Amino acid sequence: MFKSSSWHLFTVFGIPVKVDASLIILAIWMFGRWESPAYDLLAFALLLVSIVLHELGHSLVGKAFGCRIRSITLMLIGGAATFETMPRKPWQEMLVALAGPAVSLLLGFAGIFLFAPPWSFPAQVVLFFAFGWGNLVLCAFNLIPAFPMDGGRILRAVLQQFFMSRTKATWVASRIGRGIAVLFAIGAVLQLFGIRVPFVGSSFNMLLIAYFIFVSAENEYRLVAMEQGFGGGLSSDEPPPDEGKAVIGPPPYGRGSTRVDVYRDE
């Protein structure tokens, strides 16, 4: 869906950071929210910095486990660190998934602590809300225990470590992802009809996120099911056969697979 042209911005820790063309839509979308264009620009820049740091959290922990990181891409829906290889053990995957929200949490607390009122300089309000609160929202939203959010990966890792096979754990997390996508879509539609729904924000934005979560949750399951050899006959609507205790399999993702972090607009 979001595969389009992207440009290389800079390289950090040996990881190229790129921007996707779809980011232009996000820039336009965010424009006019603050009292001046300069504040709009600052808020947008702070969001991009926050997402890059979140992705670096995933990437650097991944590197510590020997993963190769192909790139970090900024896009309409958030950011994605593309891993060429993923850690083999569930607990390693869990730490990689936790690292992004952990970075956002720290940045959020730092922002709120450093830029809290009383307002003493002009851009402080932007730093407080767009950076401080923005990072806390980024953290909280990505901890929702459903694919494609980090929380979905954490949930799968825990399920796989203690309770079930990788395929079945992915199926559970992907089902929850679809369920949450449907709830978001219902919330967005209710708002279109003028009913105020908490946590939904703008309907357009939420419908986009709901669609994206739905598709990604499905893809994640298909990918893992294929790797584990259930690709042929298994429809995604039936749970995979339970082959007992978790087996630490081959690297969970094929080359070029992408993890995406969803940016939640407030």
Residue ranges in contact with Zn ion by CB under 5 A: 100, 142, 150, 261
What 3-state class would DSSP assign to 180? helix
CA angle 1, 237, 149 (to 5 degrees): 45
| Residue indicated by tokens 């020997």 | 66
Instruction: Identify which of residues 20 and 261 has a Cβ nearer to Zn ion in the complex.
Output: 261
What does the DSSP 8-state code read for residue 163? T
The least distance separating Zn ion from the CB of residue 71, rounded to whole angstroms, comes to 15
Instruction: Identify which of residues 150 and 218 has a Cβ nearer to Zn ion in the complex.
Output: 150
What contacts 24+ positions apart, CB below 8 Å, involve 90-95? 90/156, 90/157, 90/158, 90/160, 90/161, 90/166, 90/246, 90/248, 91/157, 91/161, 92/65, 93/153, 93/156, 93/157, 93/252, 94/153, 94/154, 94/157, 94/158, 94/161, 95/61, 95/65
Instruction: Identify which of residues 22 and 142 has a Cβ nearer to Zn ion in the complex.
Output: 142
Instruction: Identify which of residues 130 and 262 has a Cβ nearer to Zn ion in the complex.
Output: 262
The least distance separating Zn ion from the CB of residue 58, rounded to whole angstroms, comes to 6
Instruction: Identify which of residues 137 and 234 has a Cβ nearer to Zn ion in the complex.
Output: 137
- Round to whole Å and give the CA distance between 141 and 264: 6
Residue nearest Zn ion, Cβ-based: 100
In this structure, the strands spanning 259-262 and 78-83 are antiparallel
In this structure, the strands spanning 15-20 and 69-75 are parallel
The least distance separating Zn ion from the CB of residue 259, rounded to whole angstroms, comes to 7
Count H helices and E strands in the chain, helices first: 8, 5
Neighbours of 119 (CB within 10 A): 11
The least distance separating Zn ion from the CB of residue 132, rounded to whole angstroms, comes to 18
Instruction: Identify which of residues 79 and 111 has a Cβ nearer to Zn ion in the complex.
Output: 79
The least distance separating Zn ion from the CB of residue 114, rounded to whole angstroms, comes to 23
The least distance separating Zn ion from the CB of residue 102, rounded to whole angstroms, comes to 10
List 15's β-bridge partners, or say none.
12
The least distance separating Zn ion from the CB of residue 229, rounded to whole angstroms, comes to 29
Q: Pick the closest to residue 68 from 87, 91, 53, 89 (CA basis).
A: 87
Instruction: Identify which of residues 79 and 240 has a Cβ nearer to Zn ion in the complex.
Output: 79
Q: Which two tokens stand for residue 249?
A: 């399999």
